[in-house]
A and B are shown apart, each in its own frame.
Chain A
Amino acid sequence: MPADFSTLAKRARAQIAVPTLNTDVIRARSAASSARERLRRLFAGAAIALGAGGAAAALANTAGGWHLWLFGNKVEASIRSLAMVREPMTGDVHAIMERAAFPVVLPDGLPRGLRVRGIAFSPADHPTLITVQYGTVSDPWAMGVSLIETQALAADKKLLPPGPANAFTTQGYHFRIGSETVLVQGRHVSPAQVARIRAAMQHETPAQTAASFDALLSRIVVLQKVTPQAAEVAERIAPPGTNVVIGDWDLRAVPRLAAANKPLPDSRTVYLMNIPQVHGAPDYRNATLYWPKSIAIAPAGVRAVASAMRGSRTGASCDCAILVHGSNGAYTFWKVDQKTLKATKL
Chain B
Amino acid sequence: MTRWASDRLVSAALAGDQSAVECLITAIWPACYRLAASLIGDLNLAQDAAQEACVIVHRKVRTLRSAGAFDAWMFRIVVREVSRVRRRYAPAAIPEYEHGLHADTTDAMDVWRALADLSSRLREVTVLFYFDDLKTDEIARILGVPHATVRTRLARARERLRSVLRDDIEPNMDAKEVKQHAC
Contacts and interface: CB of A to CB of B under 8 A. Distances in A.
Where chain B touches its partner, the secondary structure class is helix
Given A23-B22, A23-B26, A18 B34 contact: yes
Interface residues of A, number: 32
B130 to A, nearest CB: 5
Interface in A1-42: 1-6, 8-19, 21, 23, 25-27, 29-30, 33-34, 37
A8 B25 contact: no
B58 interface: yes
B173 interface: yes
A90 B130 CA distance: 59
A18 B43 CA distance: 9
Contacts of A17: 100-102
Nearest to A316: B18
B34 A27 contact: no
B37 A16 contact: yes
A1 B165 contact: no
B97 A34 contact: no
B130 A6 contact: yes
B105 A5 contact: no
B94 to A, nearest CB: 16
Given A16-B34, A16-B37, A30-B59, A5 B54 contact: no
A140 to B, nearest CB: 14
A16 B176 contact: no
Where chain A touches its partner, the secondary structure class is helix
A1 B109 CA distance: 13
A8 B37 contact: no
Interface string B93-133: 00001001110010111111000000000000001001101
B171 interface: yes
B107 A1 contact: yes
B1 interface: no
Given A8-B169, A12-B112, A17-B101, A26 B25 contact: yes
Contacts of A156: none
A15 B130 CA distance: 16
Contacts of B170: 5
Contact-residue bracket for chain B:
35 or more
B58 A3 contact: no
B47 interface: yes
Nearest to B29: A21
B59 A13 contact: no
B16 interface: yes
A1 B104 CA distance: 12
Given A19-B33, A319-B16, A33 B101 contact: no
A278 B51 contact: no
B79 interface: no
Contact of B102 (A15, A26, A27): A15
A334 to B, nearest CB: 22
B169 A18 contact: no
Contacts of B92: none
B181 interface: no
A108 to B, nearest CB: 35
A11 B110 CA distance: 12
B107 A18 contact: no
Contacts of A138: none
29 contacts: A1-B107, A2-B107, A3-B169, A3-B171, A5-B170, A5-B176, A6-B130, A8-B107, A9-B130, A9-B131, A13-B34, A13-B131, A16-B37, A16-B97, A17-B102, A18-B34, A21-B51, A23-B22, A26-B54, A26-B58, A29-B52, A29-B55, A30-B55, A30-B59, A33-B56, A33-B59, A37-B59, A317-B17, A319-B16
